Structure 1
Amino acid sequence: MTPDAHDRAAPHPEDTAPESGAGAAPGAVADNPYARARRIGPFAVIEVSGEIDLASAGSLAEHLMAAVTGAAPPDVLVDLRHVSFFDCSGLRVLCRAEATARSRGGRLRLVSDQPRIRQLLRGAGLLGRFPPLPDIPPAPPPPRRPSLN
């Protein structure tokens, strides 16, 4: 199976949020030691910390799936600046969440200033799919109201 075909495969139960969290807005999933959700302007931001591996990837998946299925179209930023370890289990969760966001007309982007995250993405052939942003982008200004004059 090619990596792209694997990304399009149906999500495994451990990679998705519980049914009670499906379609929920960011923050509806309880914060855990590995991920928390918040809104910054138009962005659903998932702040990730600690070690993301086979044991913790499900906790990240809960937040990501809630974010990408909550708003239409989703605009999700995954902040990896506080991650101390990230392996292929985390990459699998990111790929599935990004594919879901894209299928709903949205996007999922990574925020990371860590060279090792860039190296991991490059080694996995995912740097083109997830070019990391160095910081959370500023929210666009609110639309101007027309003056009555």
Structure 2
Amino acid sequence: MKQAGGDGVVRHQPAPPTRYLRVHQDRGHTVLEFRGEIDIAAEAEVVPHLDAATSDRECRIVLDLTRVEFLDASGLRLLYRARQRVLAQQGRLHLVCTHALTLRLLRITGLAGLLPPRPTLDAALEHPGTTPGPG
């Protein structure tokens, strides 16, 4: 949700948490913290929040999959959607993931090459911004 401050600058209000997603700010980045099973049911709930977070020019986004237990093709679509939207806005995108099966899925599909996963939120934010390339 966007709200104009007293200085006229539009600021994002943190989105209320959902069953599958918590959105918060950390060091100038919008962190989308995914939770649980990210499947087609989660996709429908997450898309509006993901689109809101990636709608600003030069947005700085972190997709944190640390609390994800399962990710299917719908989850991969969400990651790719975020990448495409951030690319269109000339923003920066980071991915945090440590779950072995999810990392394997990212490697098999080639998404790990487009969005290199980092092991922690700190590691993602310390890395010089990843600007997704075309692909």
Scaled to the shorter chain, the TM-score interval is 0.7 to 0.9
Superposed displacement of residue 72, structure 1? 2.5
TM-score, normalised with respect to structure 1: 0.71
**Hey, what does 2:24 align to over in structure 1?**
38
Match of 2:6 in 1: none
Q: Which structure has more strand as a fraction of its residues?
A: 2
Does residue 101 in structure 1 map to residue 86 in structure 2? yes
Q: Which runs of 4 or more aligned residues in structure 1 lie more than 4 Å from their structure 2 counterparts after TM superposition? A: none
Counting aligned pairs with the same residue, the percent is 33
Give the RMSD, CA atoms, in angstroms: 2.1
Paired with 2:110 and 2:13, the residues of 1 have a C-alpha distance of 29
Count how many residue pairs are aligned between Structure 1 and Structure 2. 118
| CA apart distance, 1:24 | 7.5
Does residue 62 of the first structure (1) align with residue 61 of the second (2)? no
Aligned-pair distance for 1:108?
2.1
Query: Which of the numbers 61, 66, 71 marks the counterpart of 1:76?
Result: 61
When Rg is computed on C-alpha atoms for both structures, the one with the higher figure is 1
Secondary structure of the 1:50 match is: strand
Q: Which structure 2 residue ranges, 5 or more long, are not aligned?
A: 3-9, 127-135
Task: Pick one of 77, 93, 98 that aligns with 1:92.
Answer: 77
